[in-house]
Amino acid sequence: MSHISDDLRVRRTQKLIREALIALIEEQSFDAITVGEIASRAMVSRTAFYRYYEDKYDLVMKIFEEMITLMNQEFDTFRYDALRTMKPRITGKTWGQIFAYSEEVLPPYVALFEHVVQYERLYLALLGKKGSPWFVTNLRTYLARMVQERLRDLLKVLTGQERIASRVIEDGFVPAQIAALLVDTIIWWLEQERPYSPKKIATYYYRMMCAILKDVPTWE
In a shared domain, residues 139 and 126: yes
In a shared domain, residues 43 and 76: no
Segment 5-33 shows an average pLDDT of 88
Please state, as a whole number, how many other Cβ atoms lie within 10 Å of the Cβ of residue 103: 6
CATH of the domain at 13: 1.10.10.60
In a shared domain, residues 72 and 43: no
Domain tally for the chain? 2
In a shared domain, residues 92 and 185: yes
Tell me the residue range of the domain where 11 lies: 2-52
Residue range 28-81, pLDDT digits in tens = 888 889 999 999 999 999 999 999 999 998 998 888 787 777 767 666 655 555
CA atoms within 13 A on the CB side of 164: 14
In a shared domain, residues 24 and 83: no
How far is 49 from 125, CA to CA, in rounded Å? 20
Q: 107 or 75: whose pLDDT is higher?
A: 107
In a shared domain, residues 144 and 43: no
Q: Which pLDDT score is estimated for 220?
A: 64
Residue range 150-192, pLDDT digits in tens = 888 777 766 554 555 678 888 899 999 999 999 999 999 999 9
Q: Which pLDDT score is estimated for 35?
A: 95
Segment 100-111 shows an average pLDDT of 70
CA dist 40 → 17, 34, 206 (Å): 9, 10, 43
Q: What is the pTM of this model?
A: 0.77
In a shared domain, residues 154 and 179: yes
In a shared domain, residues 104 and 139: yes
Q: Which pLDDT score is estimated for 88?
A: 47
In a shared domain, residues 67 and 45: no
Please state, as a whole number, how many other Cβ atoms lie within 10 Å of the Cβ of residue 127: 21
In a shared domain, residues 158 and 129: yes
In a shared domain, residues 78 and 174: yes
Q: 10: part of which helix (H) or strand (E)? A: helix 2-27
In a shared domain, residues 31 and 75: no
